[in-house]
Amino acid sequence: KRVVAFISGSGSNMLRLAQECAAADFPAEIVAVFSDKADAGGLAKAQEIGIPTFVFPRKDFVSKEAHEEAILAELDRQRPDIVCLAGYMRLLSGRFIARHEGRILNIHPSLLPLFPGLDTHRRAIEAGMKIAGCTVHFVTEGMDEGPAIVQAAVPVMAGDTPADLAARVLTVEHRAYPLALRLVAEGKVRMKNAKAVATGAAA
Ligand code: GRF
């Protein structure tokens, strides 16, 4: 399965996916990394391991539509079976999602439906949560609303700062995303009527 990963920052999740894909029995390969930020740290990481990178700075385009049009055109050339948003900090339009419905995955640093949006670790701490975590989900039109594929939880420790919790959650993100990608690439989970459904042997 051909995967295109989207990043905006350090790309640690993209790198973990690339490392897992490199395993002989892994049913997917990352064929390209896209970013909306020319200074995304993950671009150098992708280049170091020989993955082609494409940058689409938002300021180069007159509108969100033009920006997405350029991205969609390159995406068509890459013929992805799966698109993995990995620390991509831009909302995709409904039109974009419809073009790749059921093929776009995202990782969000909270146990959805709790704490959609930004600043999730500070919000979890302030809400007095005793657990936190991440969700890998199919992307649908609403922000952080798509059906979950894999979730992973970690404890919130007394005295945690948001940075402490982010670091602890990131360690399980790096296990959850490769697992979710494997399940989708193997066809064991797919999106049907906006639900994540197990298919075949995993049913
Ligand atoms: C992670 O917390 C991820 O959940 C969120 O962006 C953060 C950085 O991810 N989407 P990465 O290191 O760029 O993969």
187 vs 200, higher pLDDT? 187
Q: Which residues share a beta bridge with 137?
A: 106, 148
Q: Which residues share a beta bridge with 30?
A: 3
pTM, entire model? 0.94
Q: Is 35 in the pocket of ligand 1 (CB under 6 A)?
A: no
Atom 7 of ligand 1: nearest residue by CA position = 87
Angle at 190 between CA 185 and CA 196, to 5 degrees: 130
Condensed to tens digits (0 to 9), the pLDDT of residues 91-143 reads 999 999 999 999 999 999 999 999 999 999 999 999 999 999 999 999 998 88
- Would you list which residues are annotated within the binding site? 11-13, 64, 89-92, 106
Q: Is 135 in the pocket of ligand 1 (CB under 6 A)?
A: no
Q: State residue 200's pLDDT score.
A: 64
DSSP label at 88? Answer: -
Distance 203 CA to ligand 1 centre (A): 30
137 part of the active site: no
What is the rounded radius of gyration, in angstroms, for the C-alpha atoms of the chain?
A: 16
Q: Which listed residue (108, 121, 137, 174) is catalytic?
A: 108
* Complex confidence, ipTM: 0.91
Q: Is 109 in the pocket of ligand 1 (CB under 6 A)?
A: yes
Q: Which atom of ligand 1 is nearest to the CA of 42?
A: 13
Atom 4 of ligand 1: nearest residue by CA position = 109
* Backbone dihedral angles phi then psi of residue 34, each to the nearest 5 degrees: -105, 145
- d(CA 48, CA 56) in angstroms, rounded, equals 20
Alpha helices in the chain (DSSP H): 12-21, 41-48, 64-78, 94-99, 120-126, 162-185
Q: What percent of the chain has pLDDT over 90?
A: 89
Q: Which residues share a beta bridge with 133?
A: 153
Condensed to tens digits (0 to 9), the pLDDT of residues 56-77 reads 999 999 999 999 999 999 999 9
Condensed to tens digits (0 to 9), the pLDDT of residues 148-185 reads 999 999 999 999 999 999 999 999 999 999 999 999 99
C-alpha 136: how far from its chain's center?
A: 7
